[in-house]
């Protein structure tokens, strides 16, 4: 089979790495890819939002299956374009990807079908939002309705912060058109857990749990980012919690989308908050998380291609989804200054140290080749240093050991990824 993966980050590197393990796969393309992905796939210089060019490439090169990694093309309708050309593609159609594309839609869906989530209000007028905040309970959460690279959420401790947040989102358009509509919701406390799941339109099969670290600095301080690292599984996601979520969140969400005439095929990322009142949905994503994919896929025993095809064909019930008993930790190496401003183009040293080391991986997120052919930094999140271990503590120790194997000017990372393990 020939496979095309769409995207250019650490998630897409992990998907390409996993797809390459399938005996069915003879050739992998990635558009646009990065310097790390180039080691296992042929990178194609087509932007992820150039749907017609991507579909034409897939047809011209007899691509058997396309896997869409990124949220923007999914929400934009790339699956519909590929299907209209008779191409097999893994991911939700546009009318289902709205589950991530509009927070207002997803909140309304949960309210309609009784899926537990935080109380909320939706606004399109900034003055009405400001008026609502006069009587709100603090802290409170402001969310840009649309896609914002995982950064469109503001936690506000008082009215002044909230007023400033409304201005940033709705008036200054800090997150672009994603802020044309805004959701204001109650602040929930508890542990955050990520559960990725495969869905074939009817049934849902969950992958191993993971726990993310969104804030830029140690101790969960600093600005929200796309993710500074995570681990899998999380000890806080117990069998009892899983049973509750399967019955009250996961399957009801899939059923609700089907009832709304928006059957979902692909990956639903359930972002959960384990509150004192039980698990509640923080957010939905319509694709693999990044860097969640980097800790879940190394633990997955199944052939990725088999599972993707089962989701497309509606035969997921025939897949026995299995994960290794060990644990996995990913530490993101970023450019200092991320997520605001940072310099790029620094040569990366030590990547060869991962060669031949079983259970240690380095997934490229923001890398490129310079004119000398060197691999250099090319983004805020540069690498995802990932390691397996017999348990979470060993995986964490292995990951931080591997962090020292690779270096570049401006290297920055959190030192407390998985520290919650010690508190479990």
Banded pLDDT at 423 (limits 50, 70, 90): low
| Lowest-confidence pick of 240-244, 302-306, 314-318, 417-421 | 417-421
pLDDT digits (tens, 9 = 90+) for 110-155: 999 999 999 999 999 999 999 999 989 999 999 999 887 767 888 9
Instruction: From residue 4, give the alpha-carbon distance in Å to each of 40, 52, 80, 361, 406.
Output: 12, 14, 16, 22, 29
Q: How far is CA 3 from the centre of its chain?
A: 21
Which residues of the chain are in CATH 3.30.470.20 domains? 191-318
Residues 349-365 have a mean pLDDT of 97
What SS3 state is found at 161?
Answer: helix
What is the CATH superfamily name and number for domain 125-180?
A: ATP-grasp fold, A domain (3.30.1490.20)
pLDDT at site 126: 93
2-93: what CATH class? alpha beta
- Quote the pTM value: 0.94
Averaged pLDDT score across all residues of the chain:
96
- Dmax (CA) of the chain: 60
Distances from the Cα of 9 to the Cα of 38, 277, 327, 409, angstroms? 12, 36, 22, 20
Which tokens go with 245?
Answer: 């979520």
Taking only the tens place, the pLDDT of each residue in 364-419 is 999 999 999 999 999 999 999 999 999 999 999 999 999 999 999 999 999 999 98
**CATH 3.90.600.10 domain position(s) in the chain:** 327-423
Q: How confident is the model over 156-207, as pLDDT tens digits?
A: 999 999 999 999 999 999 899 989 999 999 999 999 999 999 999 999 999 9
Q: Closest Cα to residue 19, out of 385, 11, 364, 333?
A: 11
On whether the CB atoms of residues 316 and 199 are closer than 8 A, the answer is: yes
What angle separates helix 251-259 from helix 103-113, to the nearest 10 degrees? 100
- Domain boundaries for CATH 3.30.1490.20 within the chain: 125-180
Sign of CA dihedral 151, 288, 189, 423: negative
CATH no. for 327-423: 3.90.600.10
- Is CATH 3.30.470.20 what the domain over 191-318 is classified as, yes or no? yes
């Amino acid at each position: 089979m020939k496979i095309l993966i769409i995207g250019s980050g650490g998630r897409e590197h992990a998907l390409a790495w996993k797809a390459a393990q399938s005996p069915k796969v003879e050739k992998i393309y990635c558009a646009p890819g990065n310097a790390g992905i180039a080691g296992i796939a042929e990178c194609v210089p087509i932007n992820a939002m150039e749907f017609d060019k991507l579909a034409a490439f897939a047809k011209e090169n007899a691509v058997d299956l396309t896997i869409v990694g990124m949220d923007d093309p999914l929400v934009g309708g790339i699956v519909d374009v590929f299907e209209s050309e008779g191409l097999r593609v893994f991911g939700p159609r546009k009318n289902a990807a709205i589950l991530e594309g509009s927070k207002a839609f997803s909140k309304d869906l949960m309210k309609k079908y009784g899926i537990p989530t935080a109380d909320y209000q939706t606004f399109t007028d900034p003055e009405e939002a400001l008026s609502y905040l006069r009587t709100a309970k603090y802290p409170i959460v402001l969310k840009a309705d649309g896609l914002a690279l995982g950064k469109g959420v503001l936690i506000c401790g008082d009215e002044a912060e909230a007023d400033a947040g409304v201005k940033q989102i709705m008036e200054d358009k800090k997150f672009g058109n994603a802020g044309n509509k805004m959701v204001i919701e109650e602040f929930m406390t508890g542990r955050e857990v990520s559960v990725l799941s495969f869905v074939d339109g009817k049934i849902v099969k969950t992958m191993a749990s993971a726990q993310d670290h969104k804030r830029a600095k140690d101790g969960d301080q600093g600005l929200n980012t796309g993710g500074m690292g995570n681990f899998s599984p999380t000890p806080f996601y117990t069998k009892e919690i899983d049973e509750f979520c399967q019955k009250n969140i996961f399957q009801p969400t899939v059923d609700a989308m089907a009832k709304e005439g928006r059957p979902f095929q692909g990956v639903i990322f359930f972002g959960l908050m384990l509150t004192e009142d039980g698990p509640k949905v923080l957010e939905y994503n319509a694709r693999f998380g990044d860097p969640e994919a980097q800790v879940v896929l190394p633990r997955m025993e199944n052939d990725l291609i088999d599972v993707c095809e089962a989701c497309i064909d509606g035969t997921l019930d025939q897949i026995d989804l299995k994960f290794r008993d060990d644990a996995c930790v990913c530490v993101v190496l970023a450019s200092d200054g991320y997520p605001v401003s940072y310099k790029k183009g620094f040569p990366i040293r030590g990547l060869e140290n991962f060669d031949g080391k079983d259970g240690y991986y380095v997934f490229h997120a923001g890398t490129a080749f310079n004119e000398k052919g060197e691999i250099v930094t090319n983004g805020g999140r540069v690498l995802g240093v990932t390691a397996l271990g017999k348990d979470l503590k060993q995986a964490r120790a292995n990951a931080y050991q591997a962090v020292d194997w690779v270096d570049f000017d401006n290297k920055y990372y959190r030192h407390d990824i998985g520290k919650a393990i010690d508190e479990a």
